[in-house]
A and B are shown apart, each in its own frame.
Chain A
């Protein structure tokens, strides 16, 4: 079962980067909105290191407002970015955070 649903505001966990990742540095610690549920796939942390039949986990597409990713974003306020994460990288956003995404 998926822990998050479309419309949920989530914050990307900010773990130390080392050797390899599929969770871009620019998303870490940032808050966005789940816009789609993706299939359960083997997590890249297993595939990258040779555990081909490793742990399967729900994936989510998350939409960010560009201004929440880049404090100096030079485009317009409506610009967004979408990318995907496995469930372990997401946590519910704190209520105080400003809403992100527009969908």
Chain B
């Protein structure tokens, strides 16, 4: 959104700092790590049951068009044998905690699907980036 100018880029960096878990940002390849900390950090990301948390936020959400499309795209890829749901869930974990908890629910599906397509050689990263630029110009032209 703001990365086209140098000042925009620095504010993007600031935003990254603001949104990333502070503890991880402050870490710098620790030379030693306690077993307790290792276990906490290697805990499987999605295995949440029993973790303490505050009162529930019962807000409802009307899915955006991209969220509906993401659901359908991920399901079509599975329907046609490119992956299965359990692989999708594993790949959501692979995105890491910052993205897992820090983006909307369907962003996980979308990023997992994208990486899967690249991993399997079904699309190349360069053609994806070209396509994204094309779509971005189309979207901004339409806006």
Contacts and interface: CB of A to CB of B under 8 A. Distances in A.
Chains A and B in contact, CB within 8 Å: yes
29 contacts: A17-B42, A17-B43, A17-B44, A17-B47, A19-B44, A19-B90, A19-B94, A20-B46, A20-B89, A20-B93, A20-B94, A22-B86, A24-B47, A24-B49, A25-B44, A25-B47, A25-B49, A25-B50, A26-B50, A44-B86, A47-B85, A48-B86, A48-B87, A49-B87, A50-B83, A50-B87, A52-B84, A69-B50, A70-B50
Contacts of B86: 22, 44, 47-48
Interface residues on B, range: 10 to 19
Interface residues of A, number: 17
Interface centre among A19, A20, A21, A26 (most CB of B within 10 A): A20
Interface in A34-71: 44, 47-50, 52, 69-70
The SS class assigned to the A binding surface is loop
Interface in A9-26: 17-22, 24-26
